[in-house]
A = this chain, B = another copy of it.
């Protein structure tokens, strides 16, 4: 119960002044060997830990990074979180984490809560806010958002090229001979949802195929949404031989829907996802998907923010996607 041991206590114990203890702690000025040892002993003896609050109050920096995720339980954001964690490991920073629950309003309120708590910077995973709103927030604190691209002094956005990735996913299906390709889209209103939809359409058009509204079902990046979407698609009776799902979770939901109807993957229908969650490896059959380097994305976000905080203005590196071929797609 080492409560409220202060530098003053240590100073008394060591027979020096509080200032000297502070100097010993910060290491900013040199302290004589003798006193160093005395202080070290006193600290040991009293089991002293500096009060971070007082330090922060003085310095103005809390050594804390705020994170706004959209779902604490999401495997996708979880990986991203892990990436940030790795980026800040050993830097003395800690993570204050809140969830926006995909609600723009809640996201904003929680970001402001983080600011009120004086975090040094904020990372928002797949922000639901507009670029303008993010810029506005960034006047108060440096920001990094993922899921879209952006590059300003105090607000950077990190994302794979969603449009191009979706284009290549669809193109892969096309190359395998599929002509009737359905799409389960992401959460409406999100920039990445829109970009993936556009990429899908562009690939189709490039192949001389007119996108068919009956082959596009609205999902929301969740398993349940994927299942709903596949049912919709199947009931609309626009025949198709392949599906491009906006993310792996949707694909998983769709997979169950197909299983329920006895439709085999990939024998009867090919399926491609997006993200490459750990889960994709364990689907039956393992899912062919567009790999988003989720962990690295989080790590990059953390490093980028750290750079901003350190005043370094390195050029922003954007993460790259990659097609991962497994077993859920077959030639038409």
Contact = CB atoms under 8 A, between A and B. Distances in A.
Nearest to A49: B116
A94 interface: yes
A36 interface: no
Interface stretch (A72-80, A228-236, A303-311): A72-80
Contacts of A278: 73, 223
A117 B75 CA distance: 28
Contact of A96 (B95, B113, B253): B95
A140 B73 contact: no
A75 B78 contact: yes
A101 to B, nearest CB: 9
Nearest to A139: B1
Contact of A94 (B113, B223, B255, B281): B113
A56 to B, nearest CB: 5
A96 B66 CA distance: 9
A34 interface: no
Interface of A: 1-2, 49-54, 56-57, 62, 64, 71-75, 78-79, 81-82, 85, 94-99, 113, 115-118, 139-140, 223, 252-253, 255-256, 259, 278-279, 281-282, 284-286
Contact of A284 (B81, B97, B253, B255): B255
Given A1-B139, A1-B140, 17 more contacts: A52-B117, A53-B53, A57-B57, A72-B78, A72-B82, A73-B75, A73-B78, A73-B278, A94-B96, A94-B98, A94-B113, A95-B98, A256-B281, A256-B286, A259-B284, A259-B285, A284-B284
B94 A117 contact: yes
Contacts of A71: 82
A99 B278 CA distance: 19
A103 B168 CA distance: 41
A85 B62 contact: no
Given A1-B140, A97-B97, A118 B52 contact: yes
A288 to B, nearest CB: 15
A57 B49 contact: no
Given A56-B53, A253-B282, A282-B223, A99 B118 contact: no
Contacts of A49: 115-116
B53 A140 contact: no
19 contacts: A1-B140, A49-B115, A52-B117, A64-B96, A72-B78, A72-B81, A72-B85, A73-B75, A73-B82, A73-B278, A78-B78, A85-B99, A95-B98, A96-B96, A223-B282, A256-B281, A256-B282, A256-B284, A256-B286
Contact of A57 (B54, B85, B279, B285): B54
A83 to B, nearest CB: 9
B95 A97 contact: yes
A214 to B, nearest CB: 26
A117 B65 CA distance: 13
